[in-house]
Chain A
Amino acid sequence: MGILQLVLVLAVLVLLVKPLGTYVYHVFSNEPNRMDRVFGPVERGIYRLIGLKRRDGMTWKRYALSFLLTNIVLVALSYLILRLQSLLPLNPNKIGGMEQTLTFNTVISFITNTNLQHYSGETGLSYFSQMAVIIMMMFTSAATGFSVAIAFVRGLTSRGRTIGNFFEDFVKAHTRIFLPFATVITLILVALNVPLTLDPTLTVTTLEGAAQHIAIGPVAALESIKHLGTNGGGFFGVNSAHPFENPNPLTNVIEMLSMWALPASLPYVYGKFANNKKQGWVVFGAMMTLFLAFLTLTYTSELRGNPALNALGMDASQGSMEGKEVRFGIAQSALFTTVTTAATTGSVNNMHDTLTPLGGLAPLAEMMLNCVFGGKGVGLVNMLMYAILAVFLAGLMVGRTPEFLGRKIEPREMKLIAVAILAHPFIILVPTAIALMTDAGRAGVTNPGFHGISQALYEMTSSAANNGSGFEGLADNTPFWNISTGIVMLLGRYISMIAMLAVAGSLVRKSWVPETVGTFRTDNVLFWGILIGTVLIIGALTFLPAIVLGPVAEHLTLR
């Protein structure tokens, strides 16, 4: 039954890729289509409200400036709201203003689509903050990421034209994708028992006569966009493990598909833009292959369980149930873990800190590679970056100038890509080392031994990959962890985005080289293999030592 559940969800996902990808392509192809009649008037209204008179194509620098300025404005306003939430409306539980370094961490966490949470929602945020900051940024950061990914794809594929207009892409991502989808999924979740109310915390008298206070709030409205936008920040501290956020296996499946379907359909969108759908399927195939390998690792490790715990003599046939919920069991938990770290969502339906060492290795490795589906757009951009690197390596081996989609790959592009690829391990490993060498960093680590190393490594990896899940035992609401992960999240998001826009800006100006018999093809099984190989070699070279010190050592010593 376990494997059947996994296969069914995977099958639904694969069936969604083509229709969803086609829809997304039409949203951003900027050619007239049927949906204009529905959404056109709304969009024209928004363009007027924001003062966007002309929607000319932008240079990559203008595009980058536009998305950065928009993000800065949102960060500034959100910072004010969180600091002043005690004075603002919709605060029935009388929650005070947020502390400085925690506010810094929180606004960066949400604008970068990371959703690392060093606060606990039920006690740290008013309903107004949950709505006007958290839910709002879940939309806007996802729309930003989506827009940049589309701009990058345009740069790779459109011949001698532009990468698009940021504000137009940003508005359309909201009006045609996130707002309508989120509204529908919110209502489906409510029908399946996820609460949605502005009432304060409930107080009930239990069966045994004790008082129980039950935190509640506008949960469903956040839950839908949290997954659609691959955000991952929970309304409650334990995120989608909380029975109000994720009350049954059906909501679990809906939440997984919501976070997974858009990133999985982006390779198809890319194939449509490139006018060669096989290109898209090769990228999709590489992502899916890596995904299945990680899913298998987590599922089998969790099913086998923790040998130390099993030795105590209970009936351990259920698998490792510490830190998991009965309604999900091993299959729904393992799948959720693998999806949420692949799609860089970072919501959790079980506690990753309590996963078996190898079960916890899979989510860690997915975030280190950061290109197995990936979050709103970022995963596709990273995978295409690896694709260009693969073409370059293959080109070196046969002694030809590398080409990708009819354009020569030259030193300028390779330098930018090297910066983006090297930045990722740098901002994971250096801060992890600092955390483990300083008292302020070590103070947060709550588990002894090798698992403590994994806790710090996981936190930095999750920040750099803009994932946001955590080994939640880490006592991370301290100035050290708030500021260090805040900086890592910023670098993790913006370095690669700007570098990739620069690559797109440089490629879009190049003249197109006609395809010949000698052209190295990037739409066949051979390239699928080379692409996976490139990802794994780079990943292994950079991260293997750190992984050996953490999860692998823990696995080998656990008995």
Chain B
Amino acid sequence: MNQASNASGPSGISTLWIALRAGIVFILICGIVYPLATTGIAQAIMPHQANGSLVKDAEGHVVGSALIGQNFADPKYFQGRVSSISYQAEASGSNNYGPSNPELLNRTQASIDAWKAANPDVPVDRVPISLLTNSASGLDPHISPESAQVQIPRISKLTGISPEQLGQLVDAHTAGRDLGVFGEPRVNVLELNLALRALLAK
């Protein structure tokens, strides 16, 4: 590093010239070369992940992405969390009700009433709060293992599959914490329902 000198420094015009060229060069490097190069590498060596972790059914049809939740209206299926955008994944988001917003209480009360109507055997104080509240993305693909278990009596009654068998299905699709520590145990609703559908088809 040299001494700073006012006298022999470059002029303002030449600084502008360098800034202009730097702007163009860095748009090319950071905005074009870097994203295209990493995309190329990722597509070459990890195409499944790079293309959105798509899930196929037994016949090989793509039925969704393992990372993106779906709407399950049919009560025979396990249901996911509340989504103010009905799992329409061309966008994402929620209504962002603040904790003191009366709309939050109204919406949750409606979910509770719907729960009571569809699941007369399971009292609402056994239902985890996450199942009846809106996720952040509106696309949460997971529910907690308890949220799956409380749905078993309803699904058993509607499908005739025994609660034990459904319990095993939930256990088989329960993922633990990452590395045994990070995050929370969870069940992927799409994959669980895919297995349930296969069981129903038998």
Contact = CB atoms under 8 A, between A and B. Distances in A.
Contact of A237 (B21, B93, B104, B132): B93
Contacts of A221: 34-35, 38-39
B51 A473 contact: no
Contacts of B125: 313-315
B92 A237 contact: yes
B38 A220 contact: yes
B178 A315 contact: no
A306 B101 CA distance: 11
Interface stretch (A161-169, A290-298, A433-441): A161-169
A473 B129 contact: no
B176 to A, nearest CB: 10
B32 to A, nearest CB: 6
B197 A207 contact: yes
A210 interface: yes
Contacts of A54: 10
B38 A131 contact: no
B114 interface: no
Nearest to B89: A214
A349 B67 CA distance: 15
A348 B135 CA distance: 13
Contact of B105 (A312, A317, A349, A557): A312
Contacts, number: 401
B201 interface: no
B129 A309 contact: yes
B168 interface: no
A249 B179 CA distance: 9
Given A70-B22, A204-B63, A450-B100, A56 B2 contact: yes
Contacts of A123: 90-91
Contacts of A327: 140, 142, 183-184, 186
A90 to B, nearest CB: 10
Contact of A241 (B62, B74, B137): B137
Contacts of B19: 66, 69-70, 72-73
A455 B46 CA distance: 41
A252 B1 CA distance: 40
A133 interface: yes
A309 B179 contact: no
B25 interface: yes
A275 B96 CA distance: 49
B41 to A, nearest CB: 7
A237 B112 CA distance: 28
Interface in A206-232: 206-208, 210, 212-216, 218, 220-222, 225
Interface in A283-316: 305-306, 308-310, 312-316
A471 B132 contact: no
Interface string B96-136: 11111110110011001000000000001111111011111
B181 A204 contact: no
Nearest to A241: B136
B182 A253 contact: yes
Interface residues of B, number: 115
A218 B39 contact: yes
Given A132-B27, A139-B26, A214-B90, A349 B127 contact: no
B153 interface: no
Interface in A436-476: 446-451, 454-455, 471-473
A73 B23 contact: yes
B162 interface: no
A72 B38 CA distance: 28
Interface in A21-80: 30, 46, 49-52, 54, 56-59, 62, 65-66, 69-70, 72-74, 77
A413 interface: no
B31 interface: yes
A547 B6 CA distance: 47
A170 interface: yes
B34 A135 contact: yes
A313 B109 CA distance: 10
Contacts of B128: 314-315, 317-318, 321
Given A248-B178, A322-B104, A132 B38 contact: no
A59 B92 contact: no
B136 to A, nearest CB: 4
A51 B97 CA distance: 53
Interface of A: 1, 4-5, 8, 30, 46, 49-52, 54, 56-59, 62, 65-66, 69-70, 72-74, 77, 120, 122-123, 131-133, 135-136, 138-140, 158, 161-165, 167, 170-171, 174, 179, 182-183, 186-187, 190-199, 201-202, 204-208, 210, 212-216, 218, 220-222, 225, 236-238, 241-244, 247-250, 252-253, 305-306, 308-310, 312-329, 332, 348-351, 353-357, 446-451, 454-455, 471-473, 554, 557-558
Given A135-B31, A162-B4, A220-B38, 20 more contacts: A5-B181, A5-B182, A56-B5, A69-B19, A120-B92, A196-B43, A196-B50, A201-B90, A204-B54, A204-B63, A212-B87, A306-B99, A309-B133, A318-B130, A321-B129, A323-B96, A354-B136, A450-B100, A554-B100, A558-B99
